[in-house]
Structure 1
Amino acid sequence: MDETRADFLMRVEGMTCDGCAEAVRRAIRRLDPEARVQVDLEHGRVAVTTHAQSLAVAEALTRAGYTATAMTG
């Protein structure tokens, strides 16, 4: 298994509650069960450390009903 992990920050629109935060975590962990996911509901951001590519994470969040875009530095 490739041990390469990436850290990235995404803006996620549509998260309004703890249930949304959990849905986001589940969607990302379906791609990578070992992913580290930190949800910031107040600012609409998600920090992720994962083996998955950011585009795959964004697509998973879109399927879960959210709009996700990568944020730069």
Structure 2
Amino acid sequence: MDEPRKDLLMQVEGMTCQGCVNAVTKAIQSLDPGAQVEVDLAHGRVHVHTKAQSLEVAQALNAAGYEAEAMTG
């Protein structure tokens, strides 16, 4: 049975440009290709609708070079 998708809000440090948005999106979608990712550069937040766990998402973002932690999750 498929795991249900959930909404996660992540605080992500180090995002400054569209290249960062692309890198963050790619890192999250490597975990869950169907994930919906919305990046708020101004506030350093990433909203994710995904099957992945918040810890997995944070670890993927950390591996991509960003300091990330779950605000919800």
TM-score calculated relative to the size of structure 1: 0.94
User: How many residues matched?
Assistant: 72
Aligned to 1:65: 65
How far residue 11 of structure 1 moved from its aligned partner, in angstroms, is 0.4
AA of the residue aligned to 1:39:
V
- How far apart in 2 are the matches of 1:71 and 1:8? 8
Q: Structure 2: give runs of 5+ residues left out of the alignment.
A: none
Q: Which residue of 2 aligns with 1:28?
A: 28
State the percentage of identical aligned residues: 67
Displacement of 1:3: 4.0
> Where in structure 1 are there 5+ consecutive unaligned residues?
none
**2:27 and 2:60 mapped to 1: Cα distance?**
6
Distance 2:69 2:59 in 1: 10
Partner SS state of residue 4, structure 1: coil
Cα distance in 1 for partners of 2:16, 2:69 equals 17
Matched, 1:12 2:21: no
Where do 4+ consecutive residues of structure 1 move more than 6 Å?
none
Corresponding residue SS for 2:2: coil
- Rounded to whole Å, the distance in 2 between the matches of 1:23 and 1:8 is 18
Counterpart of 1:43 in structure 2 is: 43
